[in-house]
Structure 1
Amino acid sequence: MNKVAKATVALMIATIVAKVLGFGRELVLASSYGTSMYSDAYLTAMNIPIVIFASIGAALGTTFIPMYCDINNSLGEEEALKFTNNMFNLVATICLLLAIMGFIFAKPLVKVFAFGFKAETFEIAVNFTKILIVGIVFTGLSFIMTAYLQVKNNFIIPGIVSVPKNIIIILSILLSITYGPYIMIWGTVVGMATEFIFQIPFAIKEGYKYNLYVNIKDEYIKKAAWLIIPVIIGVGVNQVNAMIDRTLASTLVEGSISSLNYANKLNGFVMGLFITSISTVIYPILSNLSLDKNRGEFTNSVVQGINTVVLLVTPISIGAMVLATPIVRLLFQRGEFDERATNMTAIALIMYSIGMIAFGLREVLGKVFYSLHDTKTPMINGVMTMVINIVFNLILIKYLKHAGLALGTSLSSILGIIFLFKSLNKKIGYFGQDKILKIIFKSIIAAIIMGFSTYLTYKISNDIVKNEVITLIVSIIVGALTYGISALVLKIEEVNIIINILKNKKNKEYKI
């Protein structure tokens, strides 16, 4: 099996462990606080530092990899390390200033992110925010360490970096039931710090040596700044979209924010497991191929990456729509999470699942443009998608309430990915569009067949067995087998990639 496939499989395994724990954190939160004012306040406070800095951090990581490759290729490892320390120290300074500003202006921040919060819920959210805003310092530095490890082809550590964080947060949520909700907040800050601290020894092992070096006039820092600004806007619009959804949801019935969050987390599990794993591994490869001007291999990597995402995500999207209610009921319905919360979360999950393929393709296509040092195109596309999302949200919320917000996000993402494909065609010409469309068409047909078989299996099994766990397992197995057989009958070539990865055999013909 080729190096890329091995790295992808290893990262998927690491991600499974991390995501299971992350999902466990959501289950514990749901069980402990349900869809209450505490869960709404906590999730809002958690998302404020994410929106403030996650887009900047993601932009830094995204820009760092091609810049590091460029410097290392032209000037050598020593200069590349110098650039790394310069970025590290500048990010630390910026994050500290942002944290201070966030603490001072916590009240107006909460008003922006959840203007529907009233009285006690608002005050709790403000207090939570003042504490959690400190976490952006650790988040920012963690992004730099993650990018450094990835450029060194170490994907496992960044993949499991959230494991200690989630363990700490889970424990703090459980303790908060007895000792008060603020234990949960301080535990979250400690957990965020461990994301950064956990990576340090592994970065040192890969050759990282810290140096107190700051030079804002460095030519590579200037070049990175010009590349980062569009990436910040491009990545940031995703956060803004989420913020808009939560802000509008705060005007609806209590629990709307929480139900959207839980549904989004389920989608995020798929994104992190399959799409992020593929795009993370392929990004350094594309960055190096673009430097070598190897257009043939570059294009082949793009096609195989996109088609693999389509093949993996399409059945999950359909399956999530068919089994939304039993999945949410099994995973969440306990403690304070009642039937009402299950219904609200299930409908949101169905609406988010409509755009799951688009979410995944955006992740991969964005990395394609970034590897070509084109950060402007994803930025423009992101802004367009955001505007479309706002329009859909304002229209659909009137008729579908919180479900309309999830549907608006999906529809805007689908339109956005269509525009992004057109932009890629203009930039590099032919990139296997016919092959991609063929796979999309065949995958949808196979997934629809799978959807019918899964639904019928669930209905029949539920009537006979009357056990949610067994019924779901049987339905998923039948659905997976149906999709696999349908894919083989329809002669979807990319099935060979998955088979070769699972068999762990070398096959040079199929590369991700």
Structure 2
Amino acid sequence: MKKTVFILMLITIVSKILGFARDIVLSYFYGATDISDVYLISMTIPTVIFALIGKGISVGFIPMYTRIENSEGADKALHYTNNVINLVLAICTIIFIAGLIYTEPIVKLFASGFKGDTLDLTVSFTRVTIVGVYFSGLNYVYLAYLQIKGVFIIPTIMGFPANLIMIASIYISSHENIYFLAIGTLVAVFSQFLLLFIFSMKSKFRYKFTLDFKDQNIRKMSLLALPAILGTSVVQINLLIDRTLASNITEGGIAALNYANTLSVVIIGIFVLSISSVLYPKISKLTAKNKMDEMKLVLSGSISAVNILVVPAAVGCMFFAAPIVELLYGRGHFDAQALVMTSNALFYFSIGIVALSHRETLSNTFYSLQDTKTPMINAALAMVLNILLNIMLSKIMGIGGLALATSISTIFCTFLLLIKLRKKIGRMGLKKVSISFMKIAVSSLVMGGLSRFIYDHLTSKLNIASSLLLSVFIGAVVYFIMIYFLKIKEVDLIVDEIKVKFKAGKENKVVKA
């Protein structure tokens, strides 16, 4: 598992760099303007619409497939998979038709501040990108199928071709026709679908038209999926409210919020999704076999592992919000106002990064226990808090207030999930996890303060990139030295494993000699 997670992290880092490149190219050619807002909304609408159903499908699919394969065999599990796929295609067709008929009201729902030419252009873009709902929908099923089959690399690299296509479309649109932005988005989603479909076929998937609404397995999956769908809809409603309010605050507000969110979410993409994509099927199998003690060990270990990586990254984003944004986006049409808006949003998003990282892991644990109701209720409570905070803080702090509202509601939601899980499965080593968290937090703050001190003194002698990289490197070295000497269990295990491998390598060299 550790080796798989490490490989996934490396691939995800490269993928996220490409994702960054896409946003950097967008900010260079279009900055934080009405065009970038139009592009982001038209790209978001099909994704968000199906994410409501897609998350429920992926959550319900894995435990149901595992149960069917164990009890009835691989053929029945394949029949079930095809039934789900054809059901998804039927749902996508309904969404597609509704999206074409009601495009303008849907756009107004996502960006109520859009008027005139901006609104018309978004409607035109959305009528192109809505076709992608078919590919987005099927991707959820194929992703879940490949996870069950232990194929984690392909889902991780699916962002490679998509990001390259989107980068090319942004560049071409700036020189040719602006509609290449919408076309590029559609082609990018198709490339992801094609990659997943090919490797699903290599993993013994065979498509067959089967559509049986009365299938008991579909009904059971629906019962599991419904609360997850409602829970996910809460997340999407939060996103919708954030972007609607941003569209009313200032031109380019949606783009600034998106740039900052991309920077904060990339940390979760690199460290957390790499772990959770491996962890969820593993926890599901341990739960199905009633190996609860082993499952708790895996869970507590993953929480601490996430803390070791995410806490310092979050602190670093807070200390270096403005330099990071300036280094990555500060060129082309990305002006001083865009820099201020984006760096403020990044700072406040960073406050909730750790909580957001754990929410994914905790929610998946509930799903593996076939409890989709608890995450749904918690997400609903967080949504109410987020809406209230959005309205209040956006009036006081603008775009930064929207980001802070998201962070506070995320921390609230994650804390509730942790309490509920503790009540549900009993002791899970939270005292040890809390102690290691405090050690990590102290080390991270020392790292952040030292790095910022060094950066402030280097900027007068070096350029921003060299100053930032050097100060962060020194801070990271100090951080890892501190957590090693503070005797954090997970760090000690990693160090011991490195020593064993190093010793084995030396012995192999001696034998060969």
Does TM, scored on the shorter chain, surpass 0.5?
yes
Amino acid at match of 1:238: V
Distance 2:417 2:310 in 1: 19
In the TM superposition, 1:352-371 aligns within 5 A as 352-371=349-368
Aligned to 2:249, what secondary structure does the other structure show?
coil
Aligned to 2:272, what secondary structure does the other structure show?
helix
Distance 2:500 2:6 in 1: 9
Residues 96 and 131 in structure 2, CA contact (< 8 A), matched pair in contact too:
yes
The answer for the alignment partner of 1:485 in structure 2 is 481
Aligned length: 503
Residues 319 and 452 in structure 2, CA contact (< 8 A), matched pair in contact too:
yes
Distance 2:424 2:4 in 1: 29
* CA distance 1:207–1:31, shift in 2 (3 Å): same
Residue 497 of structure 1, CA deviation: 5.0
Residue 194 (structure 2) pairs with residue 197 (structure 1): yes
Distance 1:385 1:497 in 2: 36
What is the CA deviation profile of residues 162-196 of structure 1, one whole-angstrom value per residue up to 9, with x for unaligned ones?
A: 11111111111100011121011111101111111
The answer for the alignment partner of 2:36 in structure 1 is 39
* CA distance 1:42–1:502, shift in 2 (3 Å): farther
Residues 484 and 492 in structure 2, CA contact (< 8 A), matched pair in contact too:
no
What is the CA deviation profile of residues 27-71 of structure 1, one whole-angstrom value per residue up to 9, with x for unaligned ones?
A: 111111111111001111111112111232122112211111111
Aligned to 1:449, what secondary structure does the other structure show?
helix
Distance 1:9 1:311 in 2: 14
Distance 1:314 1:203 in 2: 36
Residue 396 (structure 2) pairs with residue 393 (structure 1): no
Residue 506 of structure 1, CA deviation: 11
Residue 348 of structure 1, aligned match among 322, 345, 350: 345
Residue 323 of structure 1, CA deviation: 0.8
Aligned to 1:35, what secondary structure does the other structure show?
coil
Amino acid at match of 1:148: Y
The answer for the alignment partner of 2:14 in structure 1 is 17
* CA distance 1:309–1:169, shift in 2 (3 Å): same
Residue 430 of structure 1, CA deviation: 0.8
Distance 2:496 2:280 in 1: 21
The answer for the alignment partner of 2:143 in structure 1 is 146
The answer for the alignment partner of 1:328 in structure 2 is 325
Residue 286 (structure 2) pairs with residue 286 (structure 1): no
Residues 287 and 372 in structure 1, CA contact (< 8 A), matched pair in contact too:
yes
Residues 448 and 475 in structure 2, CA contact (< 8 A), matched pair in contact too:
yes
Distance 1:41 1:486 in 2: 46
Residues 500 and 506 in structure 1, CA contact (< 8 A), matched pair in contact too:
no
Aligned to 1:216, what secondary structure does the other structure show?
coil
Distance 2:260 2:401 in 1: 13
* CA distance 1:310–1:383, shift in 2 (3 Å): same
What is the CA deviation profile of residues 437-477 of structure 1, one whole-angstrom value per residue up to 9, with x for unaligned ones?
A: 11221111111111111111111111222x11111110110
The answer for the alignment partner of 1:242 in structure 2 is 239
What is the CA deviation profile of residues 212-269 of structure 1, one whole-angstrom value per residue up to 9, with x for unaligned ones?
A: 1111111110000011111011122222111111111111111111110000001121
Distance 1:41 1:452 in 2: 39
* CA distance 1:474–1:501, shift in 2 (3 Å): farther
Residues 6 and 501 in structure 1, CA contact (< 8 A), matched pair in contact too:
no
Residue 57 of structure 1, aligned match among 54, 57, 79: 54
Residue 86 (structure 2) pairs with residue 89 (structure 1): yes
What is the CA deviation profile of residues 320-341 of structure 1, one whole-angstrom value per residue up to 9, with x for unaligned ones?
A: 0111111111100111011221
The answer for the alignment partner of 2:448 in structure 1 is 451
Distance 1:239 1:484 in 2: 37
Residues 9 and 501 in structure 1, CA contact (< 8 A), matched pair in contact too:
no
Aligned to 1:463, what secondary structure does the other structure show?
coil
The answer for the alignment partner of 1:471 in structure 2 is 467
The answer for the alignment partner of 2:506 in structure 1 is none
Amino acid at match of 1:118: K
Unaligned segments of structure 2, at least 5 residues: 504-513
Amino acid at match of 1:490: L
Instruction: Please say which of residues 488-497 and 421-430 is displaced more in the overlay.
Output: 488-497
**Please, what TM-score do these two structures have when normalized by structure 2?**
0.96
**Please, what TM-score do these two structures have when normalized by structure 1?**
0.96
Residue 122 of structure 1, aligned match among 119, 122, 126: 119
* CA distance 1:338–1:499, shift in 2 (3 Å): farther
Amino acid at match of 1:474: L
* CA distance 1:176–1:497, shift in 2 (3 Å): farther
Residue 59 (structure 2) pairs with residue 67 (structure 1): no
Amino acid at match of 1:489: F
Residue 501 of structure 1, CA deviation: 7.6
The answer for the alignment partner of 2:431 in structure 1 is 434
Residue 96 of structure 2, aligned match among 95, 99, 102: 99
The answer for the alignment partner of 1:311 in structure 2 is 308
Residues 59 and 232 in structure 1, CA contact (< 8 A), matched pair in contact too:
yes
Residue 492 of structure 2, aligned match among 496, 499, 512: 496
What is the CA deviation profile of residues 365-384 of structure 1, one whole-angstrom value per residue up to 9, with x for unaligned ones?
A: 01110111110000001101
Residue 10 of structure 1, CA deviation: 1.7
Residues 359 and 413 in structure 1, CA contact (< 8 A), matched pair in contact too:
yes
The two structures, once aligned, show a CA RMSD in angstroms of 1.5
Residue 410 (structure 2) pairs with residue 416 (structure 1): no
Unaligned segments of structure 1, at least 5 residues: 508-512
Identity of aligned residues (%): 43
Residue 219 (structure 2) pairs with residue 188 (structure 1): no
What is the CA deviation profile of residues 405-438 of structure 1, one whole-angstrom value per residue up to 9, with x for unaligned ones?
A: 0000001111111111111011111111112211
